[in-house]
Amino acid sequence: MKVAFVGLGVMGYPMAGHLQKAGHDVTVYNRTSARAAAWVDTYAGTHAATPKEAAQGAEMVFVCVGNDDDVRSVVLGEQGVLAGLSKGSIIVDHTTASAHLAVELAAASKTQGVGFLDAPVSGGQAGAENGVLTIMVGGEANDFDRAAPVMAAFGRTVKHMGESGNGQKTKMVNQLFIAGLIQSLSEGIRFAQKSGLDVNEVIDVIKGGAAQSWQLENRGPTMVQGKFDFGFAIDWMRKDLGICFEEADRIGAETPVARLVDQFYAELQAQGHNRDDTSSLIRRL
Amino acid sequence: MKVAFVGLGVMGYPMAGHLQKAGHDVTVYNRTSARAAAWVDTYAGTHAATPKEAAQGAEMVFVCVGNDDDVRSVVLGEQGVLAGLSKGSIIVDHTTASAHLAVELAAASKTQGVGFLDAPVSGGQAGAENGVLTIMVGGEANDFDRAAPVMAAFGRTVKHMGESGNGQKTKMVNQLFIAGLIQSLSEGIRFAQKSGLDVNEVIDVIKGGAAQSWQLENRGPTMVQGKFDFGFAIDWMRKDLGICFEEADRIGAETPVARLVDQFYAELQAQGHNRDDTSSLIRRL
C-alpha cells in the first residue's frame, strides 16, 4: 500500500521503518529534513518536502508529532496532509493529543471524504523499535477496520475504543494510572533504602504479590540504580498530564494525586531534569 | 511437628488449617474461644485456654493477631507464649506490626533461648485460604531455615530479608507501593467512566502495557462494578500505614502520596466505610 508517515521522532522513526519492512511503499516527511534523509538511507522509501507532498497519492497517512498545535499544522496547514489527500484515504494520528482536537480533525477530514483516527500509543521507544506498541484508537469502525492491519506492522495490541477522541481519552487513563504508581514506587524504594533493606531483594519478594506492576518489575531495579534514561521524559509526561487535566476539568473528574505528581515533575523540570524519564520522581525523595 | 497457632482471624484461621493439613500437630488459641472451638471441629487439632498453654511442648508457635499491643500481650503476657515455650523453640509472628516491636520481642525471646521471626504476609484472605501467601521474614538465619519449610504449608514465597524487623520493613514498602497505586487506579477509572468510555475495554487494552499492575487486573474490574468486599479493609490498611509513617519519621523518609491517601481513607472511615476494602478509594471521586 502507498502510505505516508509524518514525524520521525524517537517513536515515528522506527514505526515508519516497520511499515516499510512490512512491504508498504512509504513516503516520509519530517520537520528536520536531515532526519528524513537518514531514514530514507536506512529503509529506502521516499522523502517529501511537505506533509502535503507526502500525502499525495497515499491511501493512509500516519502522523506522530509533538502536540495539538503540531498536529493541527501538519493536518490542516496550507502544506498539510489534508491538502494532498484524495477522497477515501485515512489519516491515523499517533500523537498523544487532546480528545477535542481529534473530534475537530475528524470533522474537518470528513468534509473531504477522508477518515481520521486518533491512535495514541503506549509502550515507549522500545515498543516502537520492537513493533509491539499498544494502540488505542478512536474513530469510525470502517476506518479502523481498514487501518488496523496496517498498524499491526508496529502494534501488538490495536484496539478500537469507539468514537473520535476515545483513543486519546484511553491514553489519558493510562497516564493517570501511571502517575501515582511511579510516585508510590519512589516512596517505597526510598523508604527501603533508608531502612537499610536490600532493595533488590525487597522488589523480588514484593513483585509476586498484590503490589506487582510492570513499573515495579521494569523500572524498580533501575530506580534503585539511579538510572533515568528510559525514554519517556518528564517533559512529555507533563504535556500528556496537561491534556488530561484539561479534559478532567471539562468532565468534572477529580485527579488529586496525578496533580500532585505533576507538581513534583514540575520541580524536577525546574532543576533541569526535564529529559530524565518519569521514574526519576525518586530524585525528589 | 508439634506447633501452636495464636490468632484465628480471617488470615490465621486458614493458615492454621494448612499446618494441620500438612501433618503437623496443631494447638490453637483464639481470644474468642468459640472460633477456636469451630476451628477444632473443622480441622481436628487441640484448643488451648491461653497462649501459654498452647505454647507448652510446641516446637514453633505462629502468631497472627491485630496490632503491636496484641502481639506484645500474647508473647510477653503472664499467660503469654514465652511463658510456655521451651529453649530451642521459635516464635513466628505473622502480624503486620512495627519493626521496633520485632527487635524488642526478638531480644526478649533470646534471653529464654527462643528464636523470634517477624514474618508479615501479603496475599490477603484468598492467599491465606489457598496457601499461597508471600511471607517476608526478619530474624536469625538459622531460625529462618528451620521455620521456612513449615511456613511453606501456607506460603508460596517465603523469603529471608535479614535481621529482626526487616520482615516488617519489607511489608511497609509493600503497603507504600499499593497506597498510591490504588488511588491512581481510582482517578483513572472514574475519569474513564465520566468520559463515557467502556471502562472494561479500557482496562483490557491498558493492562498489556506500562500501566499494568496486579491491582489493575484484579481490582480494576471490581472497582468498575462498585464491589468493595475483597477482604483487606480500610481499618487494617490505616493501621499498616500508621506503623509505616512512624518508621518513615524515624528514618527521615518522605511519603507524601501515601499520607494523602491515608487521609482519603480516614474520610471513608468517617463515613462508615471502614470495613470496605482498600479499592474503595474510588468512592471519594
- Please give the distance of CA A231 from its chain centroid, rounded to a whole number: 11
For the cut 90, the answer to whether the pLDDT of residue B125 exceeds it is no
Contact in structure between B32 and B20 (CB atoms under 8 Å): no
- The gap from C-alpha B238 to its chain's centroid, in whole angstroms, comes to 13
CB neighbour class for A31 (10 Å; exposed up to 12, middle 13-18, buried from 19): middle
Q: Are residues B151 and B181 in the same domain?
A: no
Distances (CA, A) of A19 to A8, A93, A130, A190, A231: 13, 15, 12, 42, 22
CB B274, CB B227: distance < 8 Å: no
What pLDDT is attached to residue B83?
97
Q: What is the spatial distance between Cα B235 and Cα B233, in angstroms, rounded to a whole number?
A: 5
> Residue B207 has what pLDDT?
93
Chain B hits for A210, CB-CB cut-off 8 Å, are 122-124, 174, 178, 214-215, 218
- Asked if residue A217 and residue A79 are part of one domain, the reply reads no
Q: Are residues A9 and A110 in the same domain?
A: yes
- How far is it between the farthest Cα atoms of chain A? 65
Which pLDDT does position A253 carry in this prediction?
A: 98
Residue B15 belongs to what domain range? 2-162
Q: Look at A184 and B177 and tell me if their CB atoms are within 8 Å.
A: yes
For residue A61, give the nearest of A7, A6, A12 by alpha carbon.
Answer: A6
- In whole angstroms, give the CA distance from residue A281 to residue A217: 16
A positions 127-166 inside 8 Å of B (CB): 127, 134, 136, 156-157, 159, 161-162, 166
A61 pairs with which residues across the strands? A4, A91
**Which residues between 106 and 125 in chain A have a beta carbon less than 8 angstroms from any beta carbon of chain B?**
122-124
Determine which one of A171, A194, A227, A239 is catalytic.
A171
For the CA atoms of B264, B265, B270, B272, what is the dihedral angle to 10 degrees?
130
- Same domain for B115 and B153, yes or no, is yes
When mean pLDDT is compared across A29-38, B34-43, B203-212, B226-235, the lowest value belongs to B226-235
A279 plus A184 within the same structural domain: yes
Structural element, H or E, at residue A236: helix A234-251
**Averaged pLDDT score across all residues of chain B:** 96
Q: Are residues B69 and B177 in the same domain?
A: no
Same domain, B80 and B104: yes
SS (H, E, C) A71-92: HHHHHHCCCCHHHHCCCCCEEE
- Give chain A's residues under pLDDT 50: none
User: Is the domain of B17 the same as that of B152?
Assistant: yes
Q: What is the Cα–Cα distance from B113 to B85, expressed in whole angstroms?
A: 9
Cβ-count burial B88-113 (b if 16+ within 10 Å, e if not): ebbbbbbbbbbbbbbbbbbebbeeee
Number of domains in chain B: 2
Question: Does B83 lie at the interface with A, CB-CB under 8 angstroms?
Answer: no
Claim to verify: residue A97 and residue A16 sit in the same structural domain: yes
Partner residues linked to B6 by β-bridges? B29, B63
A246 at B interface, C-beta within 8 A: no
Q: What is the mean pLDDT of residues B219-241?
A: 93
In contact, B244 and B176? CB cutoff 8 Å: yes
CATH of the domain at B175: 1.10.1040.10
Domain closes at, from A136, A162, A188: A162
Q: Verify whether the Cβ–Cβ distance A244 to B191 is below 8 Å.
A: yes
> In whole angstroms, what is the distance from residue B248 CA to residue B99 CA?
11
Per-residue model confidence (pLDDT) at position B126: 87
* Predicted pLDDT at B124: 85
Domain check: are A278 and A149 in the same one?
no
Q: DSSP letters of B24-74?
A: -EEEEE-SSHHHHHHHHHHH--EE-SSHHHHHTT-SEEEE--SSHHHHHHH
Among B162, B177, B192, give the residue marking a domain's end. Answer: B162
Q: How far apart are CA B208 and CA B213, in angstroms?
A: 9
Task: Return the pLDDT at B232.
Answer: 85
**Residue B198 falls in which region: left (phi positive, over 0), alpha (psi -120 to 50) or beta:** beta
Residue whose entry in the numeric block shows the C-alpha cell 492467599 = B127
Listed in sequence order, the residues at least 6 apart from B100 whose beta carbon sits closer than 8 Å to its beta carbon are: B165
* Residue B224 touches chain A, beta carbons under 8 Å: no
What SS3 class is residue A264?
helix
Do B158 and B256 lie in one domain? The reply is no
Both ends of chain B: CA-CA distance in Å?
A: 51
Most distant pair of Cα atoms in chain B: their distance: 65
| pLDDT single digits (tens) A36-46 | 999 999 999 99
> DSSP state, A185?
H
B196 neighbors B230 (Cβ within 8 angstroms): no
Q: Do B191 and A213 touch (CB under 8 A)?
A: no
pLDDT given at position A232: 86
- Asked whether residue B230 falls in the same domain as residue B99, the answer is no
By the 8 A CB rule, do B146 and B217 touch? no
Domain boundary among A140, A162, A184: A162
A202 and B253 within 8 Å at the Cβ level: the answer is no
Task: Give me the CATH number covering residue A7.
Answer: 3.40.50.720
**Three-state helix/strand/coil letters over A139-152:** CCHHHHHHHHHHHC
Q: pLDDT tens for residues B157-205?
A: 999 999 999 999 999 999 999 999 999 999 999 999 999 999 999 999 9
Alpha helices in chain B (DSSP H): 12-21, 33-43, 51-55, 68-76, 81-84, 99-110, 124-130, 141-151, 166-194, 199-206, 214-218, 220-225, 234-251, 256-270
Distance CA B13, CA B1 (A): 19
Q: Is A171 part of the annotated catalytic residue set?
A: yes
